[in-house]
């Protein structure tokens, strides 16, 4: 449920024009699971450094493969 809540929030924010890194930080804040929240925060740091969001979420191991593929495809 936390991954779904995060994905929904991320989708709404990015469609509204919120920059990706800001949307990631807000998306992390809506999750109740601290492990997922930390994974998203780590992914946001890597994206700031030029990393790929899909790759970072996949590496965390906490997000379903289908979700990662959807993020990768835009």
Most distant CA pair in the chain, distance: 28
Q: What is the pLDDT of residue 1?
A: 82
- Whether the Cβ atoms of residue 54 and residue 46 lie closer than 8 Å to each other: no
**Residue 74 scores a pLDDT above 80:** no
Please, what is the Cα angle at 15 between 12 and 16, to 5 degrees? 85
pLDDT tens column, 18-64: 999 999 999 999 999 999 999 999 999 999 999 999 999 999 999 99
Q: How far apart are CA 2 and CA 45, in angstroms?
A: 20
Please tell me the predicted confidence (pLDDT) of residue 31: 92
Please state the φ and ψ torsions of residue 49, each to the nearest 5 degrees.
Answer: -85, 0
């Amino acid at each position: 449920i936390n991954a779904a809540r995060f994905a929904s929030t991320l989708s709404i924010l990015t469609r509204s024009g919120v920059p990706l890194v800001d949307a990631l930080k807000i998306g992390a804040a809506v999750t109740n699971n601290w492990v997922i929240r930390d994974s998203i925060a780590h992914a946001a740091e890597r994206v700031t450094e030029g990393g790929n969001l899909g790759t970072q979420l996949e590496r965390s191991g906490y997000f379903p493969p289908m979700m990662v593929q959807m993020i990768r495809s835009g």
